[in-house]
Amino acid sequence: MAREVDELRALGGTGALVLLDYETNADPNDLRAPLSHAALVRGRLEGAWPVPGAPLQSVHK
């Protein structure tokens, strides 16, 4: 998975990177709605998620 994340970072460095997802829930602790995988990938690309040793939290700031 690290290789794929690096590839996405490289693509994002050359222009806009669009991640499509039908779900909008970016909070792994919110079980009321399906989780947005695009939000998790975005958080990973931005270095905002996951935070080692921290409880799960939303990737949106």
Instruction: For the chain, list residues with pLDDT below 50.
Output: none
Q: How many CA atoms lie within 13 A of 18 on its CB side?
A: 1
Mean pLDDT (the chain, rounded)? 85
Q: What is the pLDDT of residue 11?
A: 92
Span 35-52, pLDDT tens digits: 999 998 998 898 887 776
* Predicted model pTM: 0.72
Q: What is the pLDDT of residue 23?
A: 92
Q: What is the pLDDT of residue 48?
A: 83
Of 10, 45, 34, 7, the closest CA to residue 59 belongs to: 45
Domain assignments of the chain as residue spans, ordered by start: 2-45
